[in-house]
Amino acid sequence: MFRKFLFVFFCTVGLMFSGLSLAGSPAPVAVIHVRDTIQPVSAQFILDALKDANENPEIRLIIIMLDTPGGLLSSTRDITGAIFASEKPVAVYVHPAGSRAASAGFFILLSANFAAMTPGTNAGAAHPVSAIPLFNSPSESKGKSSVMADKMVEDTAAFIRAIAEKRGRAVVPAELAVRKSLAYSAKECKEKNLINFLALSTDDLVHRIAAANPQLNLPVAGPVTTLDYRYSFREKLLSRLASPELVFLLLIAGVIGIFIEMKTPGAILPGLIGVTSLILFFFSMRILPISFAGILFIVLAVVLFVMEVKVVSYGFLTIGGIISMVIGSMMLFKHDLPGMGIPMGTIVIISLSVALLVILLLRLVVKAHLKQVISGEEGMIGMTGFAVQSFEKKGKVFVNGEYWNAVSTAPVEKNQEIEIIQVENMVLHIKPKEA
């Protein structure tokens, strides 16, 4: 009995000290997982996660685990603003190996209290781009660039300088990533004082931050407890709808679907697909900044493809349609940083495919209209058969391998040859065939 009492006593004391130890242990780390382009959906996800982590009294450090090809400058400003306003320190960690913080991601990386990268990652290439590709690079032959492009570059360069100065990072290499589209490996970023740490894992990063900042009360060794923030199903769906290539395909599918339905009324499926695609496209317009000029160029392209079938242009209308499709595709998204456009290869392949598809469908529709006079019910007029029974007004006849109900204005004898003069509601109007 006494042994049981001692066992319970020591277990209770152990649990008490264990509880005290847990109470005094470092708080967990919040990890916000972002593997996406930087656009309103990903920006809102990061802002919500930052807000929730800041309101959690147990959180001592917030890590944004980043892998992005770039995105929108407006969304980037929202994210960097939220990082600057965070009451708790924020680390941006480019991880795992093979990841990147390109374009918009470079701004977010430099804005963190602690910037870190895994060996094998890269960052940079933050030169702004125009929605009109001709404005994206200066004309070297003339030695000058457009005023609009200059303004865009200067504004973006000032933005990156302000971030680097606030966080005490190297201004010159940061600005060159904007002006010259330079990109750096993880090792180069550390050597150029663009990041604070090279870390192999989340635990390794936390240990390095803890060693350099003991006031944060983070673990300097051992496993790290984390609170992970990941995309919900809704955010994954919205993120897909924020994909430029998918939005482009939705617009094309919508226009072609409606066009086919108008040319072949009652087909239903093309119209349903077209309407659904356009609804999703217009919903995506609330997520991505889309240019109406780009939409009009794409619609014009389809119109030119239609005219190619009805007008003898010797291919000029098709060429014009392809050019219009390419221009509209390049202008469709009003993006200001790389990562949110449509690859030129995709544009060319889709433009050629749409041209071939529309012209082929139109030719099939035209052929169908030309043949419909000699097919169907109208095509039966003038055909002959024979009466299955004798009748004066209504009876059965056999025509073209099938039995039909027939109406005759003159008496008909069994097996007598008859001729069709009219078809109405699947009933044949006949007359005895003259010898």
Separation of alpha carbons 172 and 416, rounded Å: 101
Tell me: do 384 and 359 sit in the same domain: no
Tell me: do 266 and 287 sit in the same domain: yes
Tell me: do 191 and 99 sit in the same domain: yes
Residue 337's nearest CA partner among 35, 33, 101 is 101
Residue 429's nearest CA partner among 400, 398, 394 is 394
In a domain, 89, yes or no: yes
Residue with tokens 């003898």: 312
- What is the residue range of 382's domain? 378-432
Percent of residues, the chain, with pLDDT higher than 70: 80
Tell me: do 280 and 404 sit in the same domain: no
Domains held by the chain: number? 3
Tell me: do 296 and 218 sit in the same domain: no
DSSP code, position 265: T
Between the alpha carbon of residue 407 and those of residues 66, 388, 430, the distances in Å are 79, 13, 6
Least confident of 34-43, 155-164, 181-190, 257-266: 257-266
Tell me: do 282 and 364 sit in the same domain: yes
Separation of alpha carbons 306 and 300, rounded Å: 10
List, for residues 296-316, the tens digit of each pLDDT value: 888 888 888 777 766 766 678
Tell me: do 108 and 69 sit in the same domain: yes
Instruction: For the chain, give the mean pLDDT.
Output: 82
CATH number at residue 218: 3.90.226.10
Confidence of residue 185 (pLDDT cuts 50, 70, 90): very high
- Position 248 scores a pLDDT of 84
- Position 371 scores a pLDDT of 56
In a domain, 255, yes or no: yes
Separation of alpha carbons 339 and 343, rounded Å: 9
pLDDT at 125 over 50: yes
Residue 113's nearest CA partner among 155, 72, 64, 156 is 64
Among 356, 373, 390, the domain boundary falls at: 373
Confidence of residue 140 (pLDDT cuts 50, 70, 90): very low
DSSP code string of 205-252: HHHHHHHH-GGG---SSS---EEEE---HHHHHHHHHT-HHHHHHHHH
In a domain, 369, yes or no: yes
Confidence of residue 188 (pLDDT cuts 50, 70, 90): very high
Q: Would you state the structure tokens that stand for residue 281, as one six-digit string? A: 């496209």
The residue length of the chain stands at 435
Tell me: do 220 and 287 sit in the same domain: no
List, for residues 272-289, the tens digit of each pLDDT value: 888 998 888 888 877 777
Bridge partners, 398 (sequence order): 386, 403
Tell me: do 104 and 228 sit in the same domain: yes
Tell me: do 215 and 67 sit in the same domain: yes
Separation of alpha carbons 10 and 91, rounded Å: 42
CATH number at residue 405: 2.40.50.140
Tell me: do 255 and 214 sit in the same domain: no
